[in-house]
Structure 1
Amino acid sequence: MTDQSLAQASDIAVWVTMVLLTVAMLAFAAHLAITGSRRDAEARAASEGIPRAGSGGTVDSTLAQVRDGAPGAGDPGSGGSGSGVAVLDRAESSPPPTRRWGVIGLQVTWLATFALMAAVALRGLAVERAPLGNMYEFALVAAMFTLIVFSLWSLRRDRLWLGLFVTLPVLLILGLAKISWYTEASDLMPSLNSIWLWIHVSVATLSVALFTIGAVLALLYLAKDRAQAKGEVTGWLAALPSVPSLERITYGIHIIAFPLWTFTLIAGAIWAEQAWGRYWGWDPKEVWTFVIWVVYAAYLHARATAGWTVRKATWLAVAGFVCIMINYGVVNLFFVGWHSYSGV
């Protein structure tokens, strides 16, 4: 039995989440734009030999010279050519970049996270089972885990620069879920009625959430590394952490996600033996789950191998996420097998 009123409440909560994510995305975009433009200005000032505010008191001492009328500090007759005045103007017009919009984006993201958690809980209550029985529900839970990971991570580290690149794909996933993958609340298929649905699919959704953030970080690293090689780190790229820092974060999140995906593969085999009497049957879903595991294993191996550059290894991480998208966006919809549970 399903409770349609709870299912409708879940649908409304998803729409509320999408509205909140749109607001958060715009706030994070403003944060990136402001931070990037400020760092561009600082880079130009450094290239012109103008000291930054707070760099050992140099600016403060120069401002004191300007106020006191000291020679060489902007006195037109001292040969300083107004450099002190230029420093004064730059210092007064260049306050530290504001974090206001980023903080607003994070606060709204927390609201969106709670709204999506409510949507998942209401869906589960409506169908009286784990809300993991079809592509629509899988997308909701994966999006929820992505927001939870980012929001909790932001409590320990400054990740405001990452907000735009998390809220945007989550918004796209929820849009696809509502437009293309939506399934009415219904009872679970008999073959899915197992405790392994909670174990296997929950870990799979958490893994996908981590891989999603990892793919975003990998692409940001590749973009900034390419721009830095060309000497064109400007705009929003300037607001990102350094290239080595981005690469370390990318590697770190994949180190966490890969064992979870390994468990997903093993748990799926155990469930298959209980449900169908065999651990492995070369079903399309099983094959692609293993392909994903191989690609990410290759990334981690290449990352630790001297013969590979970090940039080439990172492209393997991107390829792994492409395989995830094929697995859930193509195999689920167009391949017939034991795992044909999309519900679409």
Structure 2
Amino acid sequence: MNAIGTQVGLATYSDLAYSSAVFALSLALLLLAATFAIGRSRTLARSTASVGVTPGSPRPGIVAEVPRRSLAERVERAGIAVVFVGAFLLLVCIVLRGLATSRAPWGNMYEFINLTCFCGLVAAGVVLRRQQFRALWVFVLIPVLILLAVSGKWLYTEAAPVMPALQSYWLPIHVSVVSLSSGVFLVAGVASILFLLKSSTLGDTRTEVENRYLAGIVSRLPDAQSLDRVAYRATIFAFPVFGFGVIFGAIWAEEAWGRFWGWDPKETISFIAWVAYAAYLHARSTAGWRDRKAAWINVVGFVTMVFNLFFINLVIAGLHSYAGVG
């Protein structure tokens, strides 16, 4: 098989890995949503074999109680395992895409979103590793699958070399850093939204009466302060990474266009997002602004990132319009 045939084959396998990743993540969402819907009781079912055993004085050699995980917990663990399978398949998709194009596989919107979703899944795997946070997987997978569906349906681009303007060593550096921070910001944004939802029901006796379904969902979430800590820790990691991404982009802009900063729409909205996250971190440590006010600022930053990703890239004309990447 010649080189062109090999590249076409790798691109085909990359597309297959993408489809498999979406299927696996969709299956994981169904499994985790099922466990979330039926409740998050961690009480272990116990089967006893205590014939002739006096309570409180088990006899040697007799197993009094055998702990077993509940069905909900087993399904939940299976769902999380499928999430990791989906993340691995998405990584395979990205790697094969790079091999097929002989370049960094984030040169267009389709590839950038795939990388961002992978980074978001990895970040969630780190942040949500504790048992108390597993319920959040459902709310992380929903935006990830929406992004993947949009990228595959409307933003898909055939595997090919990037245009000459993007053939720079700054492409893998700048875009990968922005993608990493965007994936972590996704987790932080979800946590802040859930924190606002959770905290809005505290002390509100009308919630159960007015919307029992919503109250049931909120009751299965971790406590509000835990959600706030997840959002803060994710943001405090992603913020400097995103800052470096903006700096790397400015250096690349100076090489490509002869200036570090020109208030291009993409640059402007990126700067606004950076300021929003800086304001969140400042508010998070300021008395009177902690909790809900700070969380709203974090949500504003997250919405700005989404706006920058789609509206600025696809609607507004600017120097970054041809790139379709961060």
Query: Scaled by the length of structure 2, what TM-score is found?
Result: 0.83
CA distance in 2, matches of 1:163, 1:308: 28
TM-superposed deviation, 1:343: 5.6
My pick for the range that moved more, 262-271 or 223-232, is 223-232
Residue by residue over 1:261-294, the C-alpha shift from the partner in whole angstroms, topping out at 9 and shown as x without a partner, is 1111111111111122110111111111101101
1:184 and 2:188 correspond: no
Which residue of 2 is the match for residue 30 of structure 1? Answer: 34
Taking a change above 3 Å as real, the CA distance of residues 97 and 246 of structure 1, as seen in their structure-2 partners, is farther
Decide whether the 8 Å contact of 2:128 with 2:137 is kept in 1.
Answer: no
Contact 1:333 1:342 (C-alpha < 8 Å) held by counterparts: no
Determine which of 233, 240, 247 is the counterpart of 1:259.
Answer: 240
CA distance in 1, matches of 2:158, 2:171: 19
- 3-state SS of 1:229 partner: coil
- Give the conservation status (yes or no) of the 8 Å contact 1:31–1:101: yes
Cα offset, 1:155, TM superposition: 4.5
C-alpha contact 1:35 1:236 (8 A) present in aligned 2: no
2-side partners of 1:309 and 1:152: how far apart? Answer: 24
Give, in whole Å, the separation in 2 of the partners of 1:341 and 1:271.
15
Query: In the alignment, which residue of structure 2 is the partner of 1:82?
Result: none
Report matched runs for 1:171-320 at 5 Å: 171-231=145-205, 232=207, 234-320=215-301
Q: Is the Cα–Cα contact under 8 Å of residues 135 and 341 in structure 1 kept in the other structure?
A: no
Please state how far the C-alpha of 1:337 moved relative to its aligned partner: 1.7
- Map Cα deviations across residues 294-334 of structure 1 (whole Å, 9 max, x no partner): 11111111222223242011011111111111111100011
State the distance in 1 between where 2:125 and 2:288 align.
37
**Higher relative contact order by CA 8 Å / sep ≥ 6: 1 or 2?**
1
Given that residues 221 and 247 in structure 1 are in contact (C-alpha distance below 8 angstroms), is that contact kept between their aligned partners in structure 2?
A: yes
Moved over 3 A (4+): 95-98, 152-159, 231-234
Confirm or deny: 8 A CA contact 2:113 2:147 kept in the other structure. Answer: yes
Q: CA deviation at 1:35?
A: 2.6
Q: What is the percent sequence identity of the aligned residues?
A: 43
Structure 1 residues not aligned, in runs of 5+: 43-52, 54-63, 65-94
Q: Does residue 1:10 correspond to 2:26, yes or no?
A: no
User: Whole-Å Cα distance in 1 between the matches of residues 162 and 230 of structure 2?
Assistant: 39
Counterpart pick for 2:74 among 100, 122, 134: 100
Partner of 1:123: 97
Residue 159 of structure 1 and its aligned partner are, at CA, apart by 3.2
Q: Which amino acid aligns with 1:199?
A: I
CA contact (8 A) 1:217 1:249 kept: yes
Number of matched pairs: 292
SS in 1 for 2:82: helix
CA contact (8 A) 2:276 2:298 kept: yes
- How far apart, CA to CA, are the structure 1 residues paired with 2:290 and 2:145? 33
Q: Does 1:170 find its partner at 2:144? A: yes
Compare 183-192 and 333-342 and name the one that shifted more: 333-342
Q: Deviations over 1:38-84 (max 9, x none)?
A: 59xx9xxxxxxxxxx9xxxxxxxxxx8xxxxxxxxxxxxxxxxxxxx
Q: Which of 98, 105, 112 is the matching residue for 1:138? A: 112
Q: For the Cα contact (< 8 Å) 1:28–1:105, is it kept in 2?
A: yes
Name the SS of the counterpart of 1:230 in structure 2: coil
Q: Give the aligned residue type for 1:296.
A: Y
Q: Distance in 1 between matches of 2:142 and 2:39?
A: 19
Instruction: Please state how far the C-alpha of 1:157 moved relative to its aligned partner.
Output: 5.7
Cα separation, 2, equivalents of 1:258 and 1:343: 22
Select the structure of larger CA radius of gyration: 1
1:48 alignment counterpart: none
Quote the Cα distance in structure 2 between the aligned partners of 1:177 and 1:327.
15
Per-residue deviation at 1:183?
Answer: 1.0
Post-superposition CA distance 1:118-153 (Å, at most 9, x none):
000111111100011111110111011111222344
